[in-house]
A and B are shown apart, each in its own frame.
Chain A
Amino acid sequence: MEQTLDNKQAELKTFIDGFRDKEHFESYLIAVLHKAQEIHGYLKKDVMDDIAREMNIPTSHIWGVATFYHYFNLKPIGKYKISICLGTACYVKGAERILNAVKKELGIEMGDTTPDELFTLQITRCLGACGLAPVAMINDKIHGELTAEKMVDILRKYRKAAMAEAAEKAKEQQ
């Protein structure tokens, strides 16, 4: 469901208000940043500014926390978030080849998003699916026993699906 910006702001404010009476209100910052990312997809500067004002926490501190944890995205992320596992088992089974294949196919580097905002490439440590190594996660779905060719096929399928979806939408609007 797409929300307007005002709705998004209001939702975050309600979430913050829920902690206001708690002891050490400031310590709920990480929870608030999680929520903000859930609502906006990533942590934008003006959202962090809002949080700073609402929670009375200096922006430099919020920036410190947001950059410390890899979980937080500081740039917009694509429709599909690819997390390549570089944990020990996957690494041994050739995860680096998978990673390079993705970089080559999409033409982006680690942490970047494709210009069409479809894919974001990230790495992750162990997803707990070592039996299927090497694995990658695209949004919430795990893809296992990958090879470079298999990975490229999967990416193309996602792209095809996205394009079909967009075409469908365009047709509806006409």
Chain B
Amino acid sequence: METIAEKKMINVTVNNKPYKVGGNQTIMQALDEVGFRIPRLCYHPKLSIEGACRVCIVEVEGMRNYVASCAFPILEGMKIRTDSNDVRRARRDIVELILDNHPEDCHVCERDGNCELQRLAYSMGIRKRHFVGEKKHYEKDLSSPSVIRDPNKCILCGRCVRMCAEIQKVSALRYAHRGFHTVVMPAYNMPFSESVCTACGQCISVCPTASFVEKGNCMELFDKLTNPDIIKIVQIAPSVRASIGEAFNLDPGRAMEGEMAATLRKLGFDYVFDTQFSADLTIMEEASEFLDRLQGKGKLPMITSCSSAWMKCMEQFYPDLIDNVSTCKSPMSMMGSLIKTHFAAKNNMDPKKIFTVAVMCCTAKKYEAQRPELQVDEMNPTDMVITTREIAWMIKCAGIDFLRIKPEKFDTPLGVSSGAGVIFGVTGGVMEAALRTAYELYTGETLMDIEMNDLRGFKGIKEGKVVMDGKEIRIAVAHGLGNANEVLEVVRKEPDRYHFVEIMGCPGGCIGGGGQPYANSNSEPLNEACLKKRAEALYGLDRTRTIRRSHENPDVQRIYKEFLGRPLSALSHKILHTHYKAKEPRGIISKETKVR
């Protein structure tokens, strides 16, 4: 990134005061630099410039009309006004006109209190309404198990369209029709569930309103929790504990592990288990599978299979690489599978009476939960998935004092995890965890330097090397489906370039998942500083663990001794592994869109 010092500095006047700002950028960026923050809506720093909403207008001397500051370059000698009554009134009118074609149902809306449009309307000073006009009326699309699309709440900012095309390269969404009738929709207005949508939920992350929200299961879960005839078992993903505090107005980066265990117990779950335990188990299976492939049993490079959005993406966009994908189920599904087999049998429970819930950072996991490929003994491993946002709401609704709760431990035997299981939640983490174990399984020696800095951080694509017994293992890590595309194109062209590839569907990995808390008023969706702090929370948990390698987890060792035998045993294959198939519609990746 270019720093301010490297940019050619130019002189401008803002509200009659002189400023030196970097050239070669937009008016908005220049004003951000010197302490202004022009109201904005369709703009997002990680997406291309749309200039659709006109909220960010400023006055520029010599220009006949107001200028959209997000889309106009700053120039030497420019005289800009951001604060005149006229421009403020014009901005207010623009926002009011957007509101005019928007349902007035804030107090019953999913995003009440978390809505960018609501905040904007307040800060623009809309206290009475001047305009009344026609409103649109469309059906909600409820077809997807993960994401609800409600065109009535859409203000056509296009952030979801750009997110889906530019960062994820999935292009499930686009504007269709024109003028007043414009609607953001999948191709042929087909139901979401039949489109190429990977269910990643990033449209929800960037949507300023409630045009995209997750398919909620909270009320159903409250019902289940009060049912005495079923056994309620919950698991929680690593990245939920790294972000849940934000939903309670805490600064990002607080790791709330014990707090979550205690809270879930208070909510009424009979057993509180940790997805990090099954992450350790995944590592045992996946590392063993990798070593098998390295010895000629199966295709290389091996590609990870934990991310459910990536799995759907792979089936539609890269069916030719199916044999490269690890057969391991995701940690969530491994946990569910174990609960309904080993755990039920050991405790004399009827698995049909067990109700398994997974608290995930992810909307695609809702889709994964109902995949027939993952069933064991004709049962779904996971009966319900709720997102970080949903559990935060449930905690508030149930009246639990989350901020002052005393931390507790997870239940045994599926609750103890190593540091390797923790870092699954951040991009590069699965690879790092797998190598900690694979190295030892392959060489018989312990890997001393276990923090792999090459694999950490938020570069779109990270590459690294590990030498095991003189053999060089080349690895790549990609997060976000757009970055994944670039790595997979390399894999298609040069199959020998890498041995092992980690792919996570969302930017930043699971910590940036589509089910994570909405950005607050001081931040924006996908803010990298925020993602960094969530990652740091997980790395911090890893550092403070005595056990940091999956194969050293005593409960994992026990489950192999008592039940599974060894990694990749016939029983492991039956319960913990699966196979994927190509899917229609085939996804198409445009060369036009570039990822930043």
Q: Which residues of A pack against B, CB within 8 Å? A: 26, 45, 48-49, 52-53, 56-64, 67-68
List residues of chain A with CB within 8 A of the CB of B590. 26, 56-58, 61
List residues of chain B with CB within 8 A of the CB of A53. 586, 588
Interchain CB contact under 8 A, B177 and A58: no
Nearest CB in chain A to that of B165: its residue? A58
B174 close to A (CB within 8 Å): yes
Interchain CB contact under 8 A, A63 and B586: no
Interchain CB contact under 8 A, A60 and B177: no
B173 is contacted by which of A49, A56, A60 (Cβ under 8 Å)?
A: A60
Interchain CB contact under 8 A, A59 and B173: no
Interchain CB contact under 8 A, B177 and A59: no
Least distance between A51 CB and chain B CB atoms (Å): 10
Interchain CB contact under 8 A, A64 and B176: yes
Binary contact track B575-593/A, C-beta < 8 Å → 1, others 0 = 0000000000111111110
- Are A61 and B589 also in contact (CB < 8 A) when A67-B176, A68-B178 are? no
Q: A58-B171, A60-B174 are in contact. List 13 more A-B contacts (CB 8 A).
A: A48-B188, A49-B585, A56-B591, A57-B588, A58-B187, A58-B587, A58-B589, A58-B590, A60-B171, A60-B196, A67-B176, A68-B175, A68-B178
Least distance between B235 CB and chain A CB atoms (Å): 35
List residues of chain B with CB within 8 A of the CB of A52. 588
B186 close to A (CB within 8 Å): yes
Interchain CB contact under 8 A, B585 and A59: yes
Interchain CB contact under 8 A, A59 and B592: no
Tally of contacts, chain A with chain B, CB under 8 A: 60
12 pairs from A and B in contact (CB 8 Å cutoff): A56-B590, A58-B174, A58-B587, A58-B589, A59-B188, A59-B588, A60-B174, A60-B187, A61-B171, A67-B176, A67-B177, A68-B175
Bound CA–CA A58/B196 (angstroms): 10
B172 close to A (CB within 8 Å): yes
Nearest CB in chain B to that of A45: its residue? B188
List residues of chain A with CB within 8 A of the CB of B586. 53
List residues of chain A with CB within 8 A of the CB of B176. 63-64, 67-68
List residues of chain A with CB within 8 A of the CB of B196. 58-60
List residues of chain B with CB within 8 A of the CB of A49. 585
Of A48, A52, A58, A64, most B-chain CB atoms within 10 Å: A58
List residues of chain A with CB within 8 A of the CB of B185. 60, 63
Bound CA–CA A64/B185 (angstroms): 9
Bound CA–CA A174/B433 (angstroms): 78
Bound CA–CA A60/B190 (angstroms): 10
Bound CA–CA A58/B174 (angstroms): 10
Interchain CB contact under 8 A, B592 and A63: no
Q: Which residues of B pack against A, CB within 8 Å? A: 165, 171-178, 185-189, 195-196, 585-592
Main secondary structure of the interface of A (DSSP, over half): helix
Of A49, A56, A57, A63, most B-chain CB atoms within 10 Å: A63
Nearest CB in chain A to that of B591: its residue? A56
Least distance between B149 CB and chain A CB atoms (Å): 13
Of B176, B178, B585, B586, most A-chain CB atoms within 10 Å: B176
Bound CA–CA A26/B172 (angstroms): 18
List residues of chain B with CB within 8 A of the CB of A59. 187-188, 196, 585, 588
List residues of chain A with CB within 8 A of the CB of B195. 60
List residues of chain B with CB within 8 A of the CB of A56. 588-591
Least distance between B384 CB and chain A CB atoms (Å): 30
Interchain CB contact under 8 A, A63 and B588: no
B187 is contacted by which of A26, A63, A68 (Cβ under 8 Å)?
A: A63
List residues of chain B with CB within 8 A of the CB of A60. 171-174, 185-187, 195-196
List residues of chain A with CB within 8 A of the CB of B174. 58, 60-61, 63-64
Interchain CB contact under 8 A, A68 and B588: no
Of A48, A49, A67, A68, most B-chain CB atoms within 10 Å: A67
Nearest CB in chain A to that of B164: its residue? A60
User: Would you list the 4 A-B pairs with minimal beta carbon distance, nearest first?
Assistant: A58-B171, A59-B187, A60-B174, A64-B174
Least distance between B553 CB and chain A CB atoms (Å): 43
Interchain CB contact under 8 A, A58 and B588: yes
Least distance between A63 CB and chain B CB atoms (Å): 4
Bound CA–CA A60/B149 (angstroms): 15
Least distance between A102 CB and chain B CB atoms (Å): 23
List residues of chain B with CB within 8 A of the CB of A26. 590-592
Least distance between B488 CB and chain A CB atoms (Å): 15
List residues of chain A with CB within 8 A of the CB of B188. 45, 48, 59, 63
Interchain CB contact under 8 A, B175 and A64: yes
List residues of chain A with CB within 8 A of the CB of B172. 60
List residues of chain B with CB within 8 A of the CB of A61. 171, 174, 590
Nearest CB in chain B to that of A66: its residue? B176
A68 is contacted by which of B177, B589, B591 (Cβ under 8 Å)?
A: B177
Least distance between B24 CB and chain A CB atoms (Å): 26
Bound CA–CA A61/B195 (angstroms): 13
Least distance between B248 CB and chain A CB atoms (Å): 37
Bound CA–CA A31/B471 (angstroms): 54
Bound CA–CA A57/B195 (angstroms): 15
- Are A62 and B177 also in contact (CB < 8 A) when A26-B592, A57-B590 are? no
Bound CA–CA A63/B585 (angstroms): 14
List residues of chain A with CB within 8 A of the CB of B171. 58, 60-61
Interchain CB contact under 8 A, A62 and B187: yes
Least distance between B587 CB and chain A CB atoms (Å): 8
List residues of chain B with CB within 8 A of the CB of A45. 188
Bound CA–CA A26/B165 (angstroms): 15
Nearest CB in chain A to that of B186: its residue? A60
Least distance between B547 CB and chain A CB atoms (Å): 46
Nearest CB in chain B to that of A63: its residue? B187
Least distance between A123 CB and chain B CB atoms (Å): 15
Least distance between A147 CB and chain B CB atoms (Å): 32
List residues of chain B with CB within 8 A of the CB of A57. 588, 590, 592
Least distance between B67 CB and chain A CB atoms (Å): 27
Nearest CB in chain B to that of A69: its residue? B178
Bound CA–CA A48/B174 (angstroms): 15
Least distance between B136 CB and chain A CB atoms (Å): 16
